[in-house]
């Protein structure tokens, strides 16, 4: 089964779940939660149940289709599917909350973000210089060699960081979110520093 078909399968599941459960949903539904899984925002059910299927569809339809995109199409579609799976999981949380079920978001969101980071780490060395995805700093966008070196070196930090993020789901609050956000910041700043590091050495070569 092609990755593009999988994308539309995820969307079809989200839409089907929405249609099947729509009549059971309350008129006002929770769509946003804080770090303690407390509801922060409500919306009418039509908006709540169609929001994420709509976002998933847009992500699939609005992908770039130019020649440069074709160079890393397969890797990008895999990343897209991982993201769609995460959104599908969140859609399930919204529908579950409509039935009055309590879901610990940290057990879903944190591992999904970690999985996304791991997947990005696996495929980012294959990303050629492009205008859409990757570690885009003033150093990488102006030098193809720096771009490739940065993405190869940063990949292992994304993978390690993603695995650690998955582990944070099992750490008690408030340390859970502190550690999770710390990992995100370290991975991002490390990637930016590596682009500077390789650009500096490239100039000296």
Residue 142 and residue 183 in one domain: yes
Number of domains in the chain: 2
Residue 95 and residue 166 in one domain: no
Q: Span 131-154, mean pLDDT?
A: 90
Instruction: Name the band, by pLDDT with cuts 50, 70 and 90, for residue 188.
Output: very high
pLDDT for res 180: 94
pLDDT for res 35: 60
Q: Helices 45-61 and 3-21 sit at what angle, rounded to 10 degrees?
A: 170
Instruction: Name the band, by pLDDT with cuts 50, 70 and 90, for residue 190.
Output: very high
Domain boundary among 69, 103, 137: 103
Long-range Cβ contacts of 174-181 (<8 Å, 24+ apart): 176/106, 176/110, 177/35, 177/106, 180/110, 180/113
**CB-CB contact of 39 with 30 (8 Å):** yes
pLDDT, tens digit (0-9, with 9 covering 90-100), for 31-66: 777 666 666 777 888 888 999 999 999 988 877 655
pLDDT for res 1: 53
Residue 2 and residue 71 in one domain: yes
Residue 97 and residue 186 in one domain: no
Residue 10 and residue 30 in one domain: yes
pLDDT for res 201: 82
User: Which candidate, 24, 41, 23, places its Cα nearest to that of 32?
Assistant: 41
Residue 49 and residue 67 in one domain: yes
pLDDT for res 101: 84
Residue 89 and residue 114 in one domain: no
Residue 88 and residue 133 in one domain: no
What residue has token string 């969307």?
Answer: 11
Instruction: Show the domain range for 181.
Output: 105-205
Residue 61 and residue 135 in one domain: no
- Start-to-end CA span in the chain (Å): 46
pLDDT for res 150: 96
pLDDT for res 77: 83
The answer to whether residue 2 scores a pLDDT higher than 90 is no
Residue 82 and residue 140 in one domain: no
């Amino acid at each position: 089964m092609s990755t593009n078909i999988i994308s539309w399968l995820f969307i079809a599941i989200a839409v089907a779940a929405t249609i099947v459960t729509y009549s059971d949903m309350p008129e006002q539904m929770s769509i946003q939660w804080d770090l303690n899984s407390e509801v922060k925002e409500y919306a009418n059910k039509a908006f709540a149940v169609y929001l994420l299927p709509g976002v998933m569809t847009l992500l699939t339809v609005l992908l770039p289709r130019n020649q440069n995109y074709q160079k890393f199409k397969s890797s990008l579609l895999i990343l897209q599917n991982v993201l769609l799976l995460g959104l599908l999981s969140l859609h399930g949380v919204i529908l579950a909350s409509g039935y009055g079920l309590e879901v610990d978001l940290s057990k879903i969101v944190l591992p999904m973000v970690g999985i996304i980071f791991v997947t990005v780490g696996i495929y980012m060395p294959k990303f050629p210089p492009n205008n859409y995805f990757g570690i885009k700093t003033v150093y990488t966008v102006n030098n193809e060699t720096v771009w490739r070196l940065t993405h190869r070196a940063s990949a292992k930090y994304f993978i390690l960081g993603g695995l650690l993020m998955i582990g944070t789901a099992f750490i008690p609050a408030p340390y859970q979110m502190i550690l999770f956000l710390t990992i995100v910041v370290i991975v991002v700043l490390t990637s930016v520093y590596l682009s500077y590091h390789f650009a500096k050495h490239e100039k000296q070569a």
